[in-house]
Structure formats: structure tokens, C-alpha cells
């Protein structure tokens, strides 16, 4: 990547008579080349080694709740993250945070993130409290296990098939944490199973299937080119949250999935626990919690916003690593009413992102929820029967719409341009908040 001949070839290609797609592909090559050449080989080597050591220490020390021993590792990583932000900022003219955010969502700026997050902070606390009060009269019953892992997998595979996953170009496996990876011709996704509770492993599968359908449906003509890749993480998370939150936790999806749940997992017992009403309440339950990945869609944005605010302050040198436990606890109390004092493993040590050196990534999770809500709202306007089709297990038109409007474009459009093209609006919190009110307070 540091070969100067590549830059010469890119510049030479710019003078060619290119069509619109070829020009877009070349622009992406140019942007990628520039980003990869900001940092020296020595810096990349040192940074990679330091982050690897920190991540390995985190894997051991998180379980021990040992912040004091972990802190020096984190201080080394933060020093390098700051140095990288300084170098990228000097090269691009972007602010410190924007220079890292641009790695994960190209073209998006923190001023745009601030506008969305400020609206969420203004409206979500009251909405969350109303929802929690509203659902108190509707407690749910948890289905009782055990649920054999092989039966849970069979359920997941049947639902993946219904949602359009191509098993000729991918597979489902097991890991400690659900994820999706691979290439369009071989997409691997994983989930984790608990024999006492099948509900979260199933939603893990639905979530990762959203990522996988996007990867499997990227434009095949450009499969080995930048244009044939996914654009950024907000769009990618938007697909997984479209599948999990917009569809998977809806009453209509439960209507489709419940007979399959019973077929694979129900062995008798409390029939009410396996009713459509109860299962919908279970999947739509809202409560503040410590762990981001376990959060419901109403409280999840708070987990992201507090991390975003801390990351900005770290890069701006307003806070140091030693301040993190106190700052984290204060923000958890402010946003979620929970204290993490002395509870590091469920607090600031819970995520792998910072130990691995990934600052600037977290906003894309909540921006993905915004993307998903806008896309689904637009889809529903053009296909009013989408929910009734979902209840029948028919996802053909949903997949076709997503392929035409999102997946087939690959990296052609920025997230803001794609939202304007498809929904007629830039990223905004209004549609997401409207979705929450309709689902949880109607």
C-alpha cells in the first residue's frame, strides 16, 4: 500500500474516459490509498503490537474485575490512538474525532452525530420512563428449558432460510460472541447458545443474518473492487438492526416464528409462556442494564452516547485513562440510573473496542438503528402489506426492496447520500423515536 507507484497509477487513471461507476470506484481506491499511507510502517507495527498485548490482557483481567492491572495497558493504547488521531487530523484537516470516525463511516462528521444524539438525549429519558411504567402491567413469563443446542440451531437455520440466507455461500457456527465475517461467496455467522434460554441466541442469529444478507447481496460485478464492498459500519449495522429490531422483535415476526419455536423447542409445560402475546412482551421488554450488547432498543442509545462522549474527551485531552472509572460511573448514573462503582467488568472493561484500539466506532451502532428505522418506515410506505407478509414468513419482497435500494449499491453512496436517495431524508432521530412510541406505547 505504501508503494508510490500505486498513487501514480491512480492519478493516471483519473485522466481516462471513465463512466460514473468507474469514477466512483477510482475515488474509493484513492481514498483508501491515502488513509493507508498516513501512518508509517514503524508506527503501524508498534501500534498493532501494543493493541494486541492490551486485548490479550483484557481477555484475562476483565473476568477478574482487575482495573488496576489493566490500566497501564490501556494508557499505552490511548497514547497511540491520540497519536494516530493527531497524524490523521494533520493529513486531512479534519478534527481529531472526525479523523477516526471517518475510518468507520467515511464522510460522516461528529457535528452530524451530535445533532442526532442531542435529540435522543432530550427525548429518550422521558420516553423510556413512560415505556417502563406502561409495561409494568404486562409482565412476561420466561419459557422454561432446557433447550438442546442442536434444536436451537435447527430453529435458527429454518429462520435463516426463510429470511433468504444462501447456505450455498455461507454457514452458521458457534462462538463466544455472535459475529458475521467472510466474503460474499463465503459468509460465516455465529451465535452463542444457552440451554436455559433460547431467546437471545435466536435474536443473535436474526441480527447476524442481516449483516450476512448484505454481504451476500453486494454487487457481484464489482466483487473484487472497492465499489463492491460495504460502505461503512452505520449502513452495515443498519441492515442487522433492520432484521433484528425492525422485523425480528415485531409482533408479526413473532407470529411467524412462534410455530417454529414450538416445533423445535416446546416440550410441554406452561402454555401461556409460549403464547404470541407473552413472547412479544418478552422480546419487547425494556429495562436499564449494565451491558451494552444485552440492552433493549430503547436504552441502547444511552450506552453508545456515553462511550462517544468519553472518546471525544479522551482525544481532546480533557480526561485521562485514570479518570475513566469515575467518569463512566457518573455517566451511567446520569443516563441509566445505575452505578458501576468498583464494577469494572460490567462497566468500562466490558467492550473489546478500546483495548483493540477502536475509537470512533461506537456511534455507528446507534446510527445503524437510525438507518434501520428510516429504511423500514420507507419500505412500509411503499409496501403497506409488509407486516402481514412477515407474519406469514414471506420475506421475498423485503429482501428484493433492500437489494434494489441498499445492497446493490455497495460503496457507491455515503450513508447520508444513501438515506437521502432512499428515504428522502438525511439521518435523523425523528423516525426512530416515532418507531419507539408506536411499538411500546400504542
Q: How far apart are CA 115 and CA 421, in angstroms?
A: 20
The more confidently predicted of residues 116 and 293 is 116
Mean pLDDT, residues 416-432: 98
Residue 419 makes CB contacts below 8 A (sequence gap 6+) with 371, 374, 425, 426, 427
Write out pLDDT tens, residues 249-259. Answer: 999 999 999 99
Mean pLDDT, residues 300-319: 98
Supply 302's cell numbers. Answer: 444511552
Supply 387's cell numbers. Answer: 407486516
Q: What's the mean pLDDT when you consider all of the chain?
A: 96
> What's the 3-state SS for 219-280?
CHHHCCCHHHCCCCHHHHHHHHHHHHHHHHCCHHHHHHHHHHHHHHHCCCCCHHHHCHHHHH
Q: How far apart are CA 412 and CA 28, in angstroms?
A: 9
Q: What is the per-residue pLDDT for 83?
A: 98
The model's confidence at residue 442, banded by pLDDT at 50, 70 and 90, is: confident
Mean pLDDT, residues 324-330: 98
The model's confidence at residue 175, banded by pLDDT at 50, 70 and 90, is: confident
Residue 9 makes CB contacts below 8 A (sequence gap 6+) with none
The model's confidence at residue 269, banded by pLDDT at 50, 70 and 90, is: confident
Q: How far apart are CA 379 and CA 386, in angstroms?
A: 8
Q: What is the per-residue pLDDT for 177?
A: 78
Report how far Cα 350 is from the mean position of its chain's Cα atoms. 16
Write out pLDDT tens, residues 81-128. Answer: 999 999 999 999 999 999 999 999 999 999 999 999 999 999 999 999
Q: How far apart are CA 224 and CA 218, in angstroms?
A: 11
The model's confidence at residue 2, banded by pLDDT at 50, 70 and 90, is: low
Mean pLDDT, residues 13-28: 94
Mean pLDDT, residues 147-166: 98
Q: How far apart are CA 8 and CA 151, in angstroms?
A: 56
- Contact assessment for residue 242 and residue 272, using Cβ atoms and an 8 Å cutoff: no
Kindly report which listed range (3-7, 65-69, 187-191, 425-429) carries the lowest average pLDDT score: 3-7
**Domain regions of the chain by residue span:** 1-37
Q: How far apart are CA 58 and CA 351, in angstroms?
A: 9
Secondary structure (3-state) at 127: helix
Distances (CA, A) of 311 to 74, 82, 148, 301, 337: 13, 10, 41, 15, 21
Q: What is the per-residue pLDDT for 398?
A: 98
Q: How far apart are CA 249 and CA 272, in angstroms?
A: 19
- Contact assessment for residue 249 and residue 256, using Cβ atoms and an 8 Å cutoff: no
Say yes or no to pLDDT of 305 above 60.
yes
Q: How far apart are CA 231 and CA 197, in angstroms?
A: 35
- H or E stretch including 3? none
Supply 285's cell numbers. Answer: 421488554
Kindly report which listed range (99-108, 216-225, 375-384) carries the lowest average pLDDT score: 216-225
Edge-first strand order for the sheet with 170-174 is 170-174, 186-191, 180-183
Q: What is the per-residue pLDDT for 1?
A: 54
Say yes or no to pLDDT of 137 above 90.
no
Q: What is the per-residue pLDDT for 181?
A: 92
Give the closest residue to 153 by CA, choosing from 215, 188, 212, 195: 195
CA count, 13 A, side-chain hemisphere, 320: 5
Amino acid at each position: 500500500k505504501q508503494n508510490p507507484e500505486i498513487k501514480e497509477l491512480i492519478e493516471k487513471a483519473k485522466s481516462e474516459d471513465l463512466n460514473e461507476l468507474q469514477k466512483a470506484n477510482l475515488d474509493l481506491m484513492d481514498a483508501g490509498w491515502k488513509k493507508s499511507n498516513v501512518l508509517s510502517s514503524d508506527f503501524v507495527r508498534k501500534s498493532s503490537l501494543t493493541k494486541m498485548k492490551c486485548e490479550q490482557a483484557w481477555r484475562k483481567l476483565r473476568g477478574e474485575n482487575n482495573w488496576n492491572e489493566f490500566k497501564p495497558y490501556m494508557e499505552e493504547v490511548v497514547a497511540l490512538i491520540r497519536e494516530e488521531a493527531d497524524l490523521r487530523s494533520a493529513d486531512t484537516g479534519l478534527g481529531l474525532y472526525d479523523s477516526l470516525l471517518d475510518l468507520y463511516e467515511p464522510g460522516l462528521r461528529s457535528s452530524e452525530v451530535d445533532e442526532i444524539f442531542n435529540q435522543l438525549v432530550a427525548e429518550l429519558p422521558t420516553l423510556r420512563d413512560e415505556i417502563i411504567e406502561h409495561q409494568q402491567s404486562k409482565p412476561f413469563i420466561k419459557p422454561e428449558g432446557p433447550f438442546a443446542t442442536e434444536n436451537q440451531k435447527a430453529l435458527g437455520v429454518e429462520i435463516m432460510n426463510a429470511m433468504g440466507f444462501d447456505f450455498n455461500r455461507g454457514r452458521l457456527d458457534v462462538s463466544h460472541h455472535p459475529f458475521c465475517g467472510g466474503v460474499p461467496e463465503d459468509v460465516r455467522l455465529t451465535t452463542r447458545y444457552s440451554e436455559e434460554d433460547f431467546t437471545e441466541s435466536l435474536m443473535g442469529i436474526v441480527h447476524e443474518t442481516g449483516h450476512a444478507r448484505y454481504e451476500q447481496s453486494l454487487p457481484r460485478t464489482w466483487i473484487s473492487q472497492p465499489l463492491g464492498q460495504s460502505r461503512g459500519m452505520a449502513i452495515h449495522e443498519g441492515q442487522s438492526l433492520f432484521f433484528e429490531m425492525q422485523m425480528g422483535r415485531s409482533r408479526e415476526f413473532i407470529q411467524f416464528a412462534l410455530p417454529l419455536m414450538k416445533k423445535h423447542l416446546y416440550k410441554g409445560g406452561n402454555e401461556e409462556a409460549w403464547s404470541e402475546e407473552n413472547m412479544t412482551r418478552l422480546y419487547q421488554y425494556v429495562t436499564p442494564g449494565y451491558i451494552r450488547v444485552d440492552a433493549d432498543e430503547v436504552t441502547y442509545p444511552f450506552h453508545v452516547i456515553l462511550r462517544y462522549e468519553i472518546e471525544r474527551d479522551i482525544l481532546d485531552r480533557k480526561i485521562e485513562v485514570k479518570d475513566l472509572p469515575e467518569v463512566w460511573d457518573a455517566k451511567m448514573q446520569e443516563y441509566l440510573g445505575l452505578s458501576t462503582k468498583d464494577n469494572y467488568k460490567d462497566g468500562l472493561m466490558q467492550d473489546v473496542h478500546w483495548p483493540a484500539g477502536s475509537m470512533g466506532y461506537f456511534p455507528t451502532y446507534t446510527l445503524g438503528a437510525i438507518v434501520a428505522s428510516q429504511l423500514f418506515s420507507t419500505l412500509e410506505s411503499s409496501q403497506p402489506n409488509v407486516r402481514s407478509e412477515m407474519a406469514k414468513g414471506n420475506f421475498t419482497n423485503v429482501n428484493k426492496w433492500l437489494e434494489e435500494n441498499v445492497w446493490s449499491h455497495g460503496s457507491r453512496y455515503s450513508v447520508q447520500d444513501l438515506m437521502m436517495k432512499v428515504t428522502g431524508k438525511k439521518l435523523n432521530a425523528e423516525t426512530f423515536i416515532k418507531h419507539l412510541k408506536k411499538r411500546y406505547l400504542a
